[in-house]
Amino acid sequence: MKLNIALLAGDGIGPEVIDQAVKVSNAIAKKYNHEITWKPALTGAAAIDAVGEPYPDETHAVCEAADAVLFGAIGHPRFDNDPSAKVRPEQGLLKMRQKLGLFANVRPTFTFPSLIEKSPLKRERIEGTDLVILRELTGGIYFGKRGREDNGDTAYDTCTYTREEVKRLAKKGFELAMTRSKKLCCVDKANVLETSRLWRETVQAMEKDYPEVTVTYEFVDAVAMRLVQWPNSYDVMITENLFGDILTDEASVISGSMGLMPSASLGTKTKLYEPIHGSYPQAAGKDIANPLATVLSAAMMFEDFNLKEEAQAIRDAVNKSLAEGIVSEDLAEGGKAYKTSEIGDWLAKNI
């Protein structure tokens, strides 16, 4: 297969972890006879520095023309500490999600047998955990009307959803549930929020189209609690943008390190694959970050191209590396910590 992949390394550890995903993908291409053309483009603080804009039009054109986008991370502390900054790297991410129509963010959480003891949770609570949070990504409070009143002393952000927005996300959730254990949990705050009541009503109306799927409805506060008590009781979960942002960070540490969890964003155009962690500026340029979340995001990309064997070959190599202790600092716990680039080399060699 000929693949044209937009490569958005972004900020912080983005370029380092992206490099490893490229190494691994190139090893896959060589082994299975594919041809990958990488199209690098600027995003985030790096793009602000170069052209004054975190998601330039040229970058959007590269993404639109590509078969998929592989994305590193975005964000720089220089903007976090300056509330008056007019342009911020994160705006680039939001603009990209919106312009590429990436309305569904797929964030899986699973455990690695060799890392069970690294989880902050007890073994019996997490064994067998294999869940997917489908987060709505282009609506809600992230994109609602916001502003200041009262000479700046009052601020507001508004959460808005249309039935259509809920429907298309929920449809992905039902479809995913059909390929898994046919359990779907709709996470909302319908006891308080009108948007949540619209979510619930919309999902309830869709139940008849998927008679095999068992749907449950839970409030987000209760889910936040149960997710750390019994994560293995969940399978597919659907939720709005902000709840999904929070719950997926919470879920990401269940496996032992946030540096392990991949994600895919799907929508109306080109799909995007990215690690769920951020730009980790403290580690930037040190070759110490965990590249596995990005490598596993590349595996999700191959899977979506229906290259299942290729995706599995990446996952097998990752599992083998973990079992053999070829791990980065975050997982080394006093043992030998491998460099980001060494892990990439090891994986490519083992593929």
The rounded distance, in Å, linking the Cα atoms of 28 and 35 is: 10
Question: CB of 142: closest distance to ligand IPM in angstroms?
Answer: 7
The reply to whether 209 belongs to the active site is: no
Provide the mask over 234-253, with x wherever binding to ligand IPM is found by CB under 6 A and - wherever it is not. -----------x--------
Question: CB of 320: closest distance to ligand IPM in angstroms?
Answer: 29
Provide the mask over 64-83, with x wherever binding to ligand IPM is found by CB under 6 A and - wherever it is not. ----------xx--------
Question: CB of 135: closest distance to Mn ion in angstroms?
Answer: 9
One DSSP character per residue, 126-169 reads HTT-EEEEEEE-SSGGGTS-EEEEGGGTEEEE-----HHHHHHH
Select the residue interacting with ligand IPM from 53, 67, 90, 207 (CB under 6 A): 90
Instruction: Check binding of 48 to ligand IPM (CB under 6 A).
Output: no
By beta-carbon proximity to Mn ion, the closer residue of 185 and 258 is 258
Instruction: Check binding of 176 to ligand IPM (CB under 6 A).
Output: no
Antiparallel, parallel or unpaired: β 104-110 and 154-157: unpaired
Place of tokens 């694959």: 273
* Closest C-alpha to 256, from 343, 129, 171: 129
Exposure of 122 in the CB half-sphere (CA atoms within 13 A): 4
Which is it for the CA torsion 300, 245, 49, 43, positive or negative?
Answer: positive
Instruction: Check binding of 245 to Mn ion (CB under 5 A).
Output: yes
The rounded distance, in Å, linking the Cα atoms of 119 and 338 is: 20
The reply to whether 316 belongs to the active site is: no
Question: CB of 223: closest distance to Mn ion in angstroms?
Answer: 16
DSSP 334: T
Binding site for Mn ion (CB under 5 A): 245
Which of the residues are catalytic? 142, 189, 221, 245, 249
Binding site for ligand IPM (CB under 6 A): 74-75, 90, 93, 245
